[in-house]
Structure 1
Amino acid sequence: MSSQAHELSIAQLTAVMEDFTRMSIRLPAVHRLSFTTLSVLHTLSSGGPKRLSELTAGEQVTQPAITQIVRNLERYGLVRRQPDPSDGRAVLVHITAAGAAVVDGRRAERMAHLAELAERLTRAERDAIAAALPALARLVELNERRID
């Protein structure tokens, strides 16, 4: 194979990642909440409690929008607000057990669907995906460091 056969096409990577992300987001049929609302739950699940300002920046929405999202999530019992121990004037948004169950349920449903799809791949295709996982994880790590 030529060295060009192994070149990384950023355009192709971007297109495939966009399509894969769109598919992945739409897979779970449980808990039909908006993408941003679900993203807030996933952020709190993986990153721990956050101030509203942190959620606003991370989710790239306005302060009024994040306030409304958190208010709705509170109403559903999926998050709770508590005073920030480091600053009594601020509050931290915490995910509740019910909110974590939504995240876990969506992940389980997504995994089941992807397992079904993966069974239709050839062994070589599954091996290629497995081999790419460390590099994809590294891209995520590099991005998180850039954001911090």
Structure 2
Amino acid sequence: MDETEPEDIAAALAEIAGAVARSLTDRRGMSFTTAATLSRLEREGPLRVTALAAAEGVAQPSMTQLVQRLETQGLATRVGDPADGRVTLVALTDAGREVLAERRRARNDTLVRLLAALSEEERRALGSAMRTALPLVRRMAGEPAPPGGPRPETA
């Protein structure tokens, strides 16, 4: 692997993302699209169904069905747009925030358990690589650095 070739770096990043995602996937829990939608509402605040659908790369009717399920589960609610009373927005509920927080705690617990299998030297090397890579990947992806330093906020 040439450490500066975009194709090689892209392949390595995709492999890392896939390996981490596979180790964290809870096939019994909520879908990736559901978790991503809730996370987006948490980050960006209330949004139109059409904006959510576009942002998550799903058809508008599919997002409408998802929002209906989230409402039924008490994880999201529809609210009026203060800027335009004719528009309805989808907002995250407190229960939705708690579900996201619990998913993050479970994800973190899983990663801690997996990292415990590495030697101290391996953890030190991985930690150093993450401190270097995370800000670069965030910048590359157009994401702002979180206040207080690196802290992934994904679902």
The answer, yes or no, to whether TM exceeds 0.5 is: yes
Offset of residue 114 of structure 1:
0.9
Identity among equivalent pairs (%): 37
SS at match of 2:85: strand
Deviation of the 1:27 alpha carbon: 4.2
Report Cα offsets for 1:67-108 as digits up to 9, x if no partner.
110011001110011111122222221111111111011111
Point out the structure with the larger helix share: 1
Q: For residues 51 and 15 of structure 1, what CA distance do their matches in structure 2 show?
A: 34
Residue among 39, 44, 47 paired with 1:47 = 44
Code of the aligned partner of 1:138: L
Equivalent residue, structure 1, for 2:142: 144
Q: Is 1:65 equivalent to 2:62 in the alignment?
A: yes
Paired residue for 1:15?
A: 15
Cα distance in 2, alignment partners of residues 108 and 92 from structure 1: 28
Paired residues for 1:25-104 under 5 Å: 26-27=25-26, 32-104=29-101
1:126 aligns with 2:112: no
Gaps of 5+ in 1: none
Query: Which sections of structure 2, spanning at least 5 residues, go unmatched?
Result: 144-155
- Structure 2 residue matching 1:144: 3-state secondary structure: coil
- In structure 2, which of residues 104, 108, 132 is the aligned counterpart of residue 107 of structure 1? 104
Deviation (angstroms), 1:142: 2.9
Count of paired positions? 138
CA distance in 2, matches of 1:52, 1:144: 23
C-alpha distance 28-43 of structure 1, shift in aligned 2 (>3 A): farther
Q: Which runs of 4+ in 1 moved over 4 A?
A: none
Q: What is the TM-score when the length of structure 2 is the normalising length?
A: 0.78
